[in-house]
A and B are shown apart, each in its own frame.
Chain A
Amino acid sequence: MTKRQRADRRTGLLFLAPALLTLGAVTLYPAVSVFWLSLQYRIPIFGIARFAGLDHYAFLAADPRFLNAARVTLGFTAASVALELGVGLLAALLLRRQRAGRRAALSLLLLAWALPSVVTAKLFEWLYHPTAGLVNVVLGGHAFNWLGDPRLAVAGVILADVWRTMPFVALLCYARLLTISPELYEAARVDGAGGLAIFRRITFPLLRSVLLIALSFRTLDALRAFDLMFVLTGGGPANTTETLTVYAYRSLFQTLQLGLGSAIGVAVFALVMLVAWVYLGMLHREGTAA
């Protein structure tokens, strides 16, 4: 290694150091110590702090509330992501042929994505109001209690989440669609292909990789979702919208069981990393196949 290379290496590390130190202290250290915390009984207000081993995990394995939260999380994620991808793809196909007012169209689309999720929660809380909400007024004066009825609440939360995140999927697909050359469609039409055949044979295969990317991002976000259900329903009614994240939060800061809440946090962590790993593998295969 020459003197110049050594100097470059040192300068590089110097440029890198502040960011890495911050990430180490504020992300990596907590990410490691949450495991340690999950092995303890920690109830700060009573000054309780002792080692618990795997007690919390053993408790959670048989805890009906935890199993319910896992089910709610997976159901919410599956439904939300499927709808987001479907509607997002449709929106992108609609937008592609837009000539005039493209900027306005994108503004209207991105609006829902850019708002704070707490604002989204407030918008939908008002839309779902049993007597004065726009949803029930439009449905002809029904008095559905969207957020109070255990059979409807999950659907209400999913709808709000789809509204907020569909634009992201639409935007990714739209950007990909713009890169497909018009000549390709021209040639297919000359060969006598119909609209459906063109979509199946040309558009969809070219969108595959971007849909996979959108699927990965959206699944990881949905598994981690917290703000929307916490503010909109607080996990209720009857825990039908209590996801793992909401259960973790309530354990941590409402019943103040820092150890148990951390164990649930670790479960979310493990779930997200597992899914990320699976998707990375899929993306990698897609990349080498294409």
Chain B
Amino acid sequence: MTRRGHVLDLLVLLVLVLYAVPFFWQLLTSFKPDAELLQAPSILPTRLTTVHYDAVLGRSLIPRALTNSFAVAVLTTLSAVALGLGAAYALARFPVPGKNLILLGVIAGTAFPQIAIVSPLYLVMRALGLRDTWGALILANVSFALPLVIWLLTGFIREIPEALEEAAALDGAGRIAILRWVVLPLVAPGLASAALLTFLGSWNEFLFAYTFTASEASRTVPVALALFPGVFEVPWGDIAAASMLASLPPVLIVIGLQRFLLRGLLAGALRE
């Protein structure tokens, strides 16, 4: 590696750090004392404080919203992956009638605008008595995640050599057993990718959550953040702290599970 190469590597990293400044600026804001936020704005604070986190965690609806978001995202992910795996297995391996039409519908499903279906869905949720419950959000998010999950998993299952399943069938294994003991272990990394994208999608989802919830009983973090109350003036420091808490899962996924995230993203976009 040349010296010039190292300098260029560092330079690119520096450019990317600058690119992420909107995030880091909010991070810094979340630790700045109130007095230094609006009056005589300074780049670097004279001291760091945790008062904003104390306020958000102790005296706001954010902790409850974090719980709602987490529960909805986990249950959405589990359901979407379970339903999607079955559907993908069928589409990849069984002589299902109308298979191509179903796959085409699945692709079209990824392009559906939320805003177009939110009004009938609102009436459905109301009729089912699901307004302001986790159930409404899970149902809506699962359905919205399914096209991508089915699309990804169908591709991943098709990459597995079919001979393995045929061998298991010759040994007398049933379809469920083959799915559980042959397909599932081989498709696990792909399953992780699909699960991560579903979790992120549910964690970040705003329109359905904003429409179907009415109180702290089911409001998720994006909704709580959008409605963050200010009494006389906008509490910028508290909002910054709440934003950072809402960013925690995505940031952890990007740093810790990057490999699976990249695989899912690229497979979702680039597969024919």
Tell me the A residues contacting B by CB distance below 8 Å.
5, 8-9, 11-16, 18-20, 22-23, 25-27, 29-31, 33-34, 37, 94-95, 97-101, 103-112, 114-124, 126-127, 129, 131-132, 134, 137, 163, 168, 171-172, 175, 210, 213-214, 217, 220, 223-224, 226-227, 230-231, 244-245, 248-249, 252-253, 258, 261-262, 265-266, 268-269, 272-273, 276, 287
Contacts and interface: CB of A to CB of B under 8 A. Distances in A.
A245 B206 contact: no
Interface in B246-269: 246-247, 250-251, 253-255, 258, 261-262, 265-266, 269
A110 B261 CA distance: 10
B15 A122 contact: no
Contacts of A224: 113-115
A28 B102 CA distance: 12
B116 A171 contact: no
A19 B109 CA distance: 13
Contacts of B146: 19, 22-23, 27
Nearest to B36: A132
Main secondary structure of the interface of B (DSSP, over half): helix
Contacts of A272: 111-113
A268 to B, nearest CB: 5
A118 B225 CA distance: 7
B140 interface: yes
Interface in B82-96: 83-84, 86-87, 89-91, 93-96
B258 A276 contact: no
Interface residues of B, number: 91
B178 to A, nearest CB: 11
A27 B148 CA distance: 13
Contact of A227 (B10, B142, B200, B207): B207
Given A37-B119, A112-B19, A19 B204 contact: no
Contacts, number: 267
Interface string B109-153: 101111111111111100000000000000110111011001000
Identify the interface centre among B21, B109, B269: most chain A CB within 10 Å of its CB.
B269
Given A126-B26, A132-B41, A114 B116 contact: no
B269 A30 contact: no
**4 closest Cβ pairs, A-B complex:** A12-B94, A26-B143, A19-B87, A30-B120
B95 A112 contact: no
A110 B94 contact: no
Contact of B1 (A99, A132, A213): A99
9 contacts: A22-B143, A27-B146, A37-B119, A115-B247, A116-B222, A116-B250, A118-B206, A118-B225, A118-B246
A165 to B, nearest CB: 12
A114 B225 CA distance: 17
B246 A119 contact: yes
B112 to A, nearest CB: 6
A120 B247 CA distance: 10
A160 B5 CA distance: 32
Contact of A172 (B13, B143, B261, B270): B270
B211 interface: yes
B255 A107 contact: yes
Given A116-B204, A126-B26, A30 B117 contact: yes
A127 B254 contact: no
A12 B270 contact: no
A269 B120 CA distance: 14
Given A15-B94, A31-B116, A217 B20 contact: no
B162 to A, nearest CB: 13
B114 A108 contact: no
Contact of B23 (A115, A116, A171, A252): A115
Contact of A276 (B17, B93, B108): B108
Identify the interface centre among A111, A127, A223: most chain B CB within 10 Å of its CB.
A111
A224 to B, nearest CB: 4
B38 interface: yes
Contacts of A14: 90
Contacts of B9: 98-101
Nearest to A95: B12
Contact of A107 (B108, B114, B258): B258
Contacts of B25: 123, 126-127, 134
Contacts of B17: 108
